[in-house]
Chain A
Amino acid sequence: MKAKCSDPESGALLYAYELNILSEEDTDRFEIHYLSCNYCFKQIKSFEQEAALLSSDSEIKEIVRVFSMNETGAKAVETEGPSTAPDRFLKKLGHYLWPDTPLVFKPALAYILILAMLLPAYYGIKKSNQNTIRPVENINLTPFRSSVAIDSPSITERDIVLSFVLEGAMPGERYHIVLETEDGRKVFQDEEFSRFDRYEIGRILLPSNKMQPGGYRLVITDPRTDPPSVIQQYSFQIAR
């Protein structure tokens, strides 16, 4: 008759006991059972060397580790041994993030998704704020004030709206406008400028980074004449 374990419930612990992976409580429980069970005693005796090698031999460990790595593939992280604090943190984070349960049960993932959605909105709002009206510096040029010196502390920090009058300008007609520095460097040029209002005033917007202190000359020519004739010229000075 084949021998059997006298208490199968405690006897089931044998296989884990052999590998030394039982808790203290279960170890005691099994050992007490083992003292009264011939079957378990024989089982332990018959496999003791093999169990010792299985649980502690480095070559066997390596074989099992390599196999498990190949087997689990992406789950190779499990094979990295008793984890360090950063590893544990990453694993925990992964556990909270990986959607193996419905997303509503993953608050960390939900927060990250919300943040990911909010970020573009934040930058959109920020950008739209940047596009709102910014303070500008006005320079008005009229025939009566054709040579002016503008001295403002923020003249080089703000964009400049240059307003100029062209007497006899017809709405819809095109003129050639050049703004250049005293040494001939062109700051602005429009060969088909036609944006004059009914008061014969044209306006151009000049970015602050283009306008440095110094003298400037605005030349308006009529392209229809041959050769093009200068019909209005203004000069102004931006003080340091």
Chain B
Amino acid sequence: MISEELLSKAKKGDPEAENEIFQYLFARFKCLVKRRVGIEECEDIAQEACMTVIEKYKNQTFTIGFEAWAHGVLKNKIGNYLQGPLQKRKKTTTDKEYRSAWVSNSREAEQDLKRQLIQCLKKIIKKNPAYARALNFVHQGYQTDEICKRIQVTPNNFYVILKRGRSMLQNCLKRGEI
């Protein structure tokens, strides 16, 4: 978290503090942009958003918190990118693009991860059918609210189902067993 102290230091012109904020935001922005736009342009957009934040935050009076304001800046950058003339056809990332944004460059590594994931998933869905059911609805394109209605759980319980399934998967991937 960016502390008030760090912010005030950076505001006073401390280059180290400024750099720290830049690095902090850049790592997080990159992840967010990757999800929305894809891997190709994520660094450029994240960098641009960070530059804008660093340029403007000194003169900004924060009524909503620094992170929320920075998030707004990033969203604007993404919006501008998506509305740009060359990117109109790529306004949404398809499944394939989305996946390709996340998998590593190595095809073998990707296949290996996928194989392990499938093995673990097969074990897990037998022990945790609620997770499989939730995943099935995810694959069908439903949003959280709709899935909760369909499997008749509250959103909090739904998040718990996802959390349990995820942690089982992580354990399985690490140790090879649930």
Contact = CB atoms under 8 A, between A and B. Distances in A.
Interface of A: 6, 12-13, 15-16, 18-23, 26, 28, 31-38, 41, 44-61, 63-65, 67-68, 71-72, 78-79, 81-82
Identify which of B65, B137, B139, B145 gathers the most chain A CB atoms within 10 Å of its CB.
B139
Interface residues of B, number: 56
B133 A71 contact: yes
A58 B139 CA distance: 9
Contact of A52 (B67, B103, B159): B103
B140 to A, nearest CB: 5
Contacts of B68: 32
B130 to A, nearest CB: 10
Nearest to A80: B140
Contacts of A37: 1
21 contacts: A6-B1, A16-B162, A19-B135, A31-B71, A32-B67, A41-B27, A41-B31, A46-B170, A53-B113, A55-B98, A58-B95, A59-B118, A64-B139, A65-B136, A68-B136, A71-B129, A71-B133, A78-B137, A79-B136, A81-B140, A82-B140
Contact of B159 (A6, A15, A28): A15
Interface string B20-38: 0000010110011001000
Interface string B113-145: 110011001100110010011011111111111
Given A47-B166, A48-B102, 14 more contacts: A22-B143, A31-B32, A31-B71, A45-B31, A52-B98, A52-B101, A53-B102, A53-B113, A53-B114, A54-B121, A56-B95, A60-B118, A72-B133, A82-B141
B52 interface: no
Nearest to B31: A44
A52 B99 contact: yes
B71 A28 contact: yes
Contacts of A60: 114, 117-118, 121
Interface string B138-160: 11111111010010000010110
B70 interface: yes
A59 B119 CA distance: 12
Nearest to A62: B139
B58 interface: no
A48 B173 contact: no
B2 interface: yes
A34 B83 CA distance: 25
A38 B31 CA distance: 13
Contact of A16 (B65, B118, B144): B144
A92 B5 CA distance: 57
A25 B126 CA distance: 33
B171 interface: no
Contact of B132 (A50, A51, A57, A71): A71
A46 B113 CA distance: 13
A49 B169 CA distance: 13
B143 A23 contact: yes
A22 B147 CA distance: 11
Contacts of A16: 144, 158-159, 162
A21 B137 CA distance: 10
A20 B140 CA distance: 12
B166 A15 contact: yes
B98 A36 contact: no
B91 interface: no
Nearest to B170: A47
Nearest to B68: A32
A228 to B, nearest CB: 85
B112 to A, nearest CB: 11
